[in-house]
Every structure is written in structure tokens, then in C-alpha cells.
Amino acid sequence: MQGLMFRCSAGCCEDSQATMQQVRQCIERCHAPLAQAQALVTSELEKFQDGLARCTMHCNDKPKDSIDAESKQLQVKRQLESCVTKCVDDHINLIPTMTKKMKESLS
């Protein structure tokens, strides 16, 4: 995509009849598809990170009420680790679908 964008931009500069503004607008049109692709990838990755963060925050909130007794600390710690591990595993399983969706959108 970057190669296409640079070749397109170079083509804009080849037009000796174009004004500076026309060349700039042409270059902006060449850059638009790459900018859209980058925005799509950024958005998908942000959604992925937000979902993982929400899941782990939920894991952190669950055991807070249980920490009143020291004898329960180890149990609460294990519960937290188990919950966070499940969050990570669940989100790792989402990566192939997310990747496929991005590839389809970018092609």
C-alpha cells in the first residue's frame, strides 16, 4: 500500500501543467487509502486492548471484597490469576478473527 501511495504521489508531481494546489490535492488523494487503512488497524487494535483491559479490570474488582482475611489472600490471588489468564486466553482466541476481518477490509 505504501508503494502504491508513493508511486501515485510521484505521478502527481510529474504533471507539469498542475498548480501547486492541484499537486497537493492529488498527493492527499494518494495518501487517503493508506491513512484509512492505518485508521482501521488502529481502531481494531484499540478495541482489542480495551476489551482485554475491561476483562482484567473485572478480574481485579471481583476479589476486592474477599481480601478481608489474611488466610484468604492466597486463594484470592489464585482466583485473580486464573481470571486474568482466562481473559488473555479468550482474547488470544479472538486474534485470528480480528486479523481476518482486517485483511478483508484492507483488500
Per-residue three-class SS string for the chain:
CHHHHHHHHHHHHHCCCCCHHHHHHHHHHHHHHHHHHHHHHHHHHHHHHHHHHHHHHHHHHHHHHHCCCHHHHHHHHHHHHHHHHHHHHHHHHHHHHHHHHHHHHHC
- The whole-number pLDDT of residue 62 equals 73
Model's pTM, two decimal places? Answer: 0.70
State the average pLDDT for the chain: 89
pLDDT for res 67: 59
Judge whether residue 60 has pLDDT over 90: no
pLDDT at 69 over 60: no
Q: What pLDDT is attached to residue 83?
A: 92
Say how many domains are in the chain.
1
Q: What domain range includes position 5?
A: 1-106
